[in-house]
Amino acid sequence: MASTLNAFFDRYRRAFERRELDKLLDMVAIPCMVATGHGPSTIGDRDTMRNRLEAQVTRHAEAGVADAAFEIVAHRRLAASLLQAEVRWTFHDDAGEILTTFDLMYLMHSSEHGWRISLVAPVENIP
């Protein structure tokens, strides 16, 4: 399972870096729930998801993100076709300096098209 997750998030990372929106869209389920500090929202169609992903990719570029690294912090299989993964992302600038580090929780399901993200939410590391 760890190798499956590493391969998935490596493809996801590369697609973000290359701004390959179609590849990103293929890795996300529709509908998909995105939870933030403002509450959850459900994205129910590909056009809306494409716009959200495009805006996020643009924000990363404007923030100077040149590279992203990830670490699978924790994972567990909830059912045969359902995985939960906590992923730590670290963004670097062109000089290799760390811009930010944060954790996200993903709920992923397997379909005839492979694994897809169904839910993403921030993980707060509260002491």
Question: Could you give all domains of the chain from N- to C-terminal order, each with its CATH number?
Answer: 2-123 (3.10.450.50)
Q: What is the pLDDT of residues 14-59, one digit of tens each?
A: 999 999 999 999 999 999 999 988 889 999 999 999 999 999 999 9
Q: What is the DSSP string of 33-96?
A: EEEETTEEEEE-SHHHHHHHHHHHHHHHHHTT--EEEEEEEEEEEEETTEEEEEEEEEEE-TTS
Q: Is residue 127 pLDDT above 70, yes or no?
A: no
Residues in CB range of 44: below 8 A, 6 or more apart: 30, 31
Question: For the chain, how many residues are written?
Answer: 127
Q: Is residue 126 pLDDT above 70, yes or no?
A: no
Instruction: Tell me the average pLDDT of the chain.
Output: 93
Q: What is the pTM of this model?
A: 0.91
Query: 7: part of which helix (H) or strand (E)?
Result: helix 2-17
Please state, in angstroms and rounded to a whole number, the distance separating the CA atoms of residues 38 and 67.
27
